[in-house]
Amino acid sequence: MLGGIQNSKLLVTNLIDHAAREHTNREIVSYWADGSLTRSNWGEIGVEARKFSQALQKLGMKKGDRIATIAMNHVHHLATWYGTAGIGGVLHTINPRLFEEQLVYICNHAEDRVLLFDKMFTPIIELIKPQLKTVEHFIQFDGEKGEYSTYRELVDAEDGDFTWVDVEENDPVGLCYTSGTTGNPKGVLYEHRSNVIHAITEVQPDVMDLATKSVMLPVVPMFHANAWGIPFAAAAVGSKLVFSASNEAPVLWKLIREEKVTHSAGVPTVWLSMFADMDTNGGDYGDLTTVIIGGSACPRAMIERLMKNDIRVGHAWGMTETSPIGTTGAYPANWDELSFDEQVDVICMQGRPPYGVELRVVDEDGNELPRDGESSGTLEIRGPWIIQRYFQADEDAVGEDRWFDTGDVAVLHPDGTMQITDRAKDVIKSGGEWISSIELENAAVGAPGVAEAAAVGVYHPKWDERPLLIVVRKPDSDVSGDDIKSYLTDKIAKWWMPDEVIFVDELPHTATGKILKRALRDEYKDYKLAGVE
């Protein structure tokens, strides 16, 4: 027997239709690479997306075709997301900071037919173009017309009188590649259904807490796991969006203050530069109430500073394979009874999962470990927006029970709070026990004078590995290794104390702004600790 309720499909195009109809005049602001600022709204994006669908069809694009972008966050980029969905196409966002070989591999593997790009990335296009096997059309998003067709000229030729191509809710709509820290990058193919359920989840108070009255500035780029789904979630509730094609701190602060931004989202390194700018140039947090920080563990000092200014920190954990929201550090029921320090303790962990996400921690043999706040093991996840199979792969990325191995090491607490202790490949193995490189780093960046820190394990004849702490000093600081060690004394277990602290001018980062631990491990592979043969 079937139930008696309508079976409306969950489609990404319904999100833009809803936003355009119910939140027509709610603004979408775009700060462009040339320093100009434009204002649009959900109503206009609804029309513009249809025009882009028409333009794609004129170029011969059809259902299932991959339309790629190498672009920063802006309103044209947004319209292409929805316009591509409108012909049943697959929008493939590409991270411009990847190496040339990776860019070429990804475009060819995805079999992209159209490639839209920001003018600032023209040198990248010139570099990879001769090696691209499937791209038929190169389209420039912004700036003066040069050699390539422009987005404006294509879109302005259309009238917007277009009916979305009929698709099923399990049809693909988006494609993102993992950064490929091991082997070639792998594609994650999102569906209409998974994106819509993810969007509806994301607006919840315990997740991103988005509403019509919210003003969201996603600092996270649209090429980093769909800007964490924000362009879809904002459409579901008609939030105002503020896009910036620049990630310079002064630009972001100006936008936050002048556009009355209430919500923002980005990786921790963004806030390092925002704080540094604020410390030099002064200024306030404007109307900010909520910042979502994730992508790597958020240091305690950062959480404390924001919370002292009455800003909620949503400490988000997730990955490209999880659309990307896994957890967002929701407040527990007893939040109001906790002291400030206890509240910070809670937010330092990655939090409980929203409905839809299931988490478990398993040992090396795959046995589920207790949620006792102590047993640490591999974190596994499953749910309606979690990967089943990588794009073009021959087999599933999960077993029959659908649990996906995240490659992270975590502990689950009795109330379900999840705490990442490390990435499996980053843990420091000392004397048969594990030292969390994340906790060590986060404690170290709390020390006065420390701008950034990374901990890696280096060879030790007795203990296998011992921690080496690699530090970038704040400008004008002359903090010493001994200063940092004495600061750490009451913050970490005694046997976690780094054997040595060394200083560098900068640390290598991945294409999404995380510290590139693999490169550091390679660089310091043969590092000789003092007194060690």
Residues that bind ligand ADP (CB under 6 A): 178-179, 181, 225, 294-297, 315-320, 350, 406-408, 420, 423, 510, 512, 514
Q: Residue with the closest Cβ to ligand ADP?
A: 179
173 vs 325 by CB, closer to ligand ADP? 325
- 434 catalytic residue (yes or no): yes
> Following DSSP, what letter does each residue of 361-373 receive, concatenated?
EE-TTSPBPPSSS
Q: Please report how close the Cβ of residue 184 comes to ligand ADP at its closest, in angstroms.
A: 13
**85/17 Cα distance (integer angstroms):** 12
Tell me how far apart the 2 most distant CA atoms of the chain are, in Å: 76
**Cα-to-chain-centroid distance, residue 294:** 7
CB of 70 or CB of 297, closer to ligand ADP: 297
- State which residue, 317 or 463, has the beta carbon closest to ligand ADP: 317
Nearer to ligand ADP, 125 or 316 (CB): 316
CB of 163 to ligand ADP, least distance (A): 35
CA-based Rg of the chain, rounded to a whole angstrom?
23
- Give whichever of 152 and 402 is closer to ligand ADP, judged by the CB atom: 402
Task: Return the bridge partners of 69, or none.
Answer: 93, 116
Tell me whether residue 226 or residue 406 sits nearer to ligand ADP (CB atom).
406
Tell whether the torsion through CA atoms of 479, 480, 484 and 487 is positive or negative: negative
Q: Are 119 and 140 in contact (CB under 8 A)?
A: yes
Distance CA 507, CA 319 (A): 22
β-bridge mates for residue 3, sequence order: none
3-state secondary structure of 497: coil
Of 259, 304, 321, 465, which residue is the catalytic one? 321
Instruction: Extract the tokens encoding 24.
Output: 């027509």
CA distance 99 to 496: 35
210 secondary structure, DSSP code = -
Active-site option among 22, 289, 434, 474: 434
Q: Which two tokens stand for residue 128?
A: 């990879």
Residue 271, amino acid: W
Strand partners, 460: 464
Is 218:241 a contact under the CB 8 Å cutoff? yes
In whole angstroms, give the CA distance from residue 456 to residue 524.
8
Catalytic residue (choose from 62, 429, 525, 528):
429
111 is catalytic: no
212 catalytic? Reply is no
Given the structure tokens 């590409």, which residue do they identify? 94
Task: CB nearer to ligand ADP: give 44 or 408.
Answer: 408
In angstroms, the CA 210 to CA 204 distance is 7
Q: Is there a cis peptide before residue 324, judged by omega within 30 degrees of 0?
A: yes
Of residues 320 and 343, the one with the C-beta less far from ligand ADP: 320
Tokens of 343: 């509240």
**In the complex, least distance from residue 37 CB atom to ligand ADP, rounded to whole angstroms:** 29
Minimal distance, residue 349 CB to ligand ADP, in Å: 9
Give me the least distance between CB of 181 and ligand ADP, in Å please. Answer: 6
Considering the complex, what minimum distance in angstroms separates the CB of residue 158 from ligand ADP? 35
Nearer to ligand ADP, 247 or 296 (CB): 296
Phi/psi region, residue 212 (left: phi>0; alpha: psi -120 to 50; beta: rest), is: alpha
Beta strands in 269-338 (DSSP E): 290-294, 312-318, 325-327
Tell me, rounded to whole angstroms, the distance of Cα 217 from its chain centroid. Answer: 14
Strand partners, 419: 411
> Residue 242: which of 220, 261, 262, 217 has the closest Cα?
217
Residue 172 Cβ vs ligand ADP, minimum distance, rounded to whole Å? 19
Q: Of the listed 69, 178, 201, 290, which one is catalytic?
A: 178
Q: Catalytic site residue 525?
A: no
Closest-CA residue to 529 (of 426, 470, 459, 462): 459
Q: In the structure encoding, which two tokens stand for residue 73, read together?
A: 């966050």
d(CA 460, CA 80): 53
- DSSP single-letter state for residue 533: -
Cβ 472 to ligand ADP shortest distance, Å: 20
Q: Which is nearer to ligand ADP, 229 or 294 (CB)?
A: 294
| Smallest distance from ligand ADP to CB 313, Å | 11
Residues labelled catalytic: 178, 321, 429, 434
